[in-house]
Chains A and B, each alone.
Chain A
Amino acid sequence: MGGGREPANLGDILERVLDRGLVIAGDIRVNLLDIELLTIKLRLIIASVETARELGINWWESDPWLTSNHRELEEENRRLRDRVAELEDGGAGRREIRARPAETDDEPPARGRGRGRPDRSR
């Protein structure tokens, strides 16, 4: 359209033509669930989910447009707040201190052992 400022980037267009996550209408039966959209959007963002997480990019986890388990982020925030409180109380909470790989969070957060890799050894 004439008179525009910035050229429309793909993200701008997709945001509009995909609307709020519902891709398909009409009467051809195509059952695209949120998970496909998630994949689409993630591929737009970056090569892989893992890479994104390593870069600290996990905004989609809190985007209800994309996922219903945004409580994961809330859970992580809560854990971090707990840790801060424990440490300020004198470091009693060291057993809690372990990086939890974020990709395990489909299931309810099982505190403590989880995947149990002794990572963060540096």
Chain B
Amino acid sequence: MAQDCAVWVYAVAGRIEDDWLDAVPGVDGAPVRAVAAAGLAAAMTSVSLDEFGEGPLRRHLEDLSWLDTTARAHHRVIEIIARHGSVVPMRLATIFHDDSSVADMLTQRRDRFTAVLHQVAGRVEWGVKVYAAGQDSVPARPVAARAGDAQHAAPGATASPGAAYLRRRRAALSATQDNRRAAQASADAVHAALGSLATAAQLRPPQAPQLSGEAARMMLNAAYLVAQDRSPEFAAAADRLAGQHPAVRLELTGPWPPYSFAAVDLGEAARDRTPT
């Protein structure tokens, strides 16, 4: 393979057939193919280093529309493989020099891949986000903004305007906190109930409103690994919980490939091969 080429790897599975991937455009619109080694297979696309070398890649990753298109292309390939069986998704921008270095990686990590593929076999990931249903805006730096009040405070006075202001402020905050506590309690209950139906769970940081597209505060951002045949039960439980907890709104996404539960660290393999 020419020196200016590299391969972008989407996923590793026990078996990947080329014809699963025929109709799927990969990153950069290029075709996706499978390479087998060590009893495993990897889905990949040949990419040009002009676009996917370090410099160009850095620039691309800063470009939101490129990132959007590429992340979705990456995700699409992983989803298709997941439809056919157990899969270990690779992180975005997992890039190797050529097919043979991918084959080496599969060989070196064979046991780990096999173990993880086994762990997630027959299981899917569900995403659950829980939002506070009531008004719960983030207080915007209130103390500093109104600090002037305090300058009129008579030293030693028990009911200085500053202190009165702070009391009002705290009352308002505590109402907000009550709402938030109720929402948090609901979120915790949802998490406990859904967690009991799942093989594993993972909590992520709540998404910001601009990322989630929701004005409401996100109280829970969780992923659950659920046996495929329990998925209907899981989804029904989520619906039921949504009805039982009016303090929150629940959003279910999935089923996803088991992204959050099938990480295989390639770091060491990469370091072994990378000249310093």
Q: Which residues of A contact B141 (CB under 8 A)?
A: 56, 99
Give the distance in Å from the alpha carbon of A36 to the alpha carbon of B61 in the complex. 8
Pick from B6, B147, B255, B267: contact of A98, CB below 8 A. B147
Which positions in B face A, CB cutoff 8 Å? 6, 9, 49, 52-54, 57-58, 61-62, 64, 67-68, 71-72, 74-75, 79, 82-83, 89-97, 101, 105, 127, 138-141, 143-145, 147-148, 150-151, 153-157, 160, 162-163, 166, 204-213, 221, 223, 231, 235, 251-257, 259-260, 263, 265-267, 269-270, 273-274
A-B contact pairs, 30 of them (CB 8 A): A1-B83, A3-B255, A4-B255, A5-B253, A9-B212, A11-B213, A13-B72, A14-B71, A16-B75, A16-B256, A17-B71, A26-B93, A26-B105, A27-B96, A27-B105, A27-B273, A28-B52, A30-B58, A39-B62, A40-B67, A41-B211, A44-B210, A56-B139, A57-B209, A87-B162, A87-B163, A90-B153, A98-B144, A120-B144, A120-B148
Give 1 or 0 for each of A74-102: 1 = CB within 8 Å of chain B CB: 00000010011001101111100111100
Q: Which residues of B contact A12 (CB under 8 A)?
A: 127, 253
Q: Is B95 touching A46 in the complex (CB atoms < 8 A)?
A: no
Q: Is A16 touching B253 in the complex (CB atoms < 8 A)?
A: no
Give the distance in Å from the alpha carbon of A9 to the alpha carbon of B91 in the complex. 17
A16-B75, A23-B61, A27-B274 are known; give 13 further A-B pairs, CB within 8 A. A1-B79, A11-B211, A19-B259, A25-B270, A28-B6, A36-B58, A40-B61, A43-B64, A56-B141, A57-B209, A59-B205, A65-B205, A92-B155
